[in-house]
Chains A and B, each alone.
Chain A
Amino acid sequence: AQRVTQPEKLLSVFKGAPVELKCNYSYSGSPELFWYVQYSRQRLQLLLRHISRESIKGFTADLNKGETSFHLKKPFAQEEDSAMYYCALHSGNTPLVFGKGTRLSVIA
């Protein structure tokens, strides 16, 4: 069965510090991985997807098939990055499977 694990419920970092939100998945095939973000009082929205290989708001994520990971990284955290972050997996005709989420708190 497909599963997405985000081991940290809460991650607190100081402004300007590097950020890494961990995501591990279990799936034997070739999945498509996403990061969704939910800012305070806003709806869930796509942050980035692994196939696009782009940097959004300074965030990047690399799919590591050997480690089955898709960690989200940003070199210098900003206060406006504070939000809930969800890693999600999709493959073939299966629906999106979300992790439980990590709340990122950036402290000024």
Chain B
Amino acid sequence: GAGVSQTPSNKVTEKGKYVELRCDPISGHTALYWYRQSLGQGPEFLIYFQGTGAADDSGLPNDRFFAVRPEGSVSTLKIQRTERGDSAVYLCASSPLSQNEQFFGPGTRLTVL
């Protein structure tokens, strides 16, 4: 079956622009996670959805970052007024139950010029 997919695979944008990153979880997985991975670092938690609601958004660095999952499946991570420091690989993961094994997508590499 299909795994977690993320689009686009690469995104280059200019400082100050708005970007949206999409995640398609494995069908039937209720939990969805977003992580950010900077060069030389492990994945850092951003936000976690259980169904449609954000169960934990404590990892979002500031109010420029926002994520939605309106129908409990696809999720979009939105970044406003991008900054060069936002450049990273953004990973999405899903799991069938909260905090069980997480299945990761391939990531979106965001570059802010």
Contact = CB atoms under 8 A, between A and B. Distances in A.
Interface of A: 4, 6, 9, 32, 43-46, 49, 86, 88, 90, 93, 95-101
A43 B6 CA distance: 11
B56 A95 contact: yes
B70 interface: no
Interface residues of B, number: 26
Nearest to B33: A95
Interface string B79-101: 00000000000010100001101
A20 to B, nearest CB: 19
A95 B41 contact: no
B102 A96 contact: yes
B1 interface: no
Given A95-B59, A99-B42, A100-B42, A43 B102 contact: no
B60 to A, nearest CB: 12
A44 B91 contact: yes
A43 B48 CA distance: 19
10 contacts: A9-B40, A32-B99, A43-B107, A44-B91, A96-B33, A97-B45, A98-B35, A99-B42, A100-B40, A101-B42
B107 A98 contact: no
Contact of B42 (A43, A46, A86, A95): A86
Nearest to A49: B101
B45 A43 contact: no
B26 to A, nearest CB: 12
Contacts of B45: 95-97
Nearest to A101: B42
A45 B3 CA distance: 11
B99 A44 contact: no
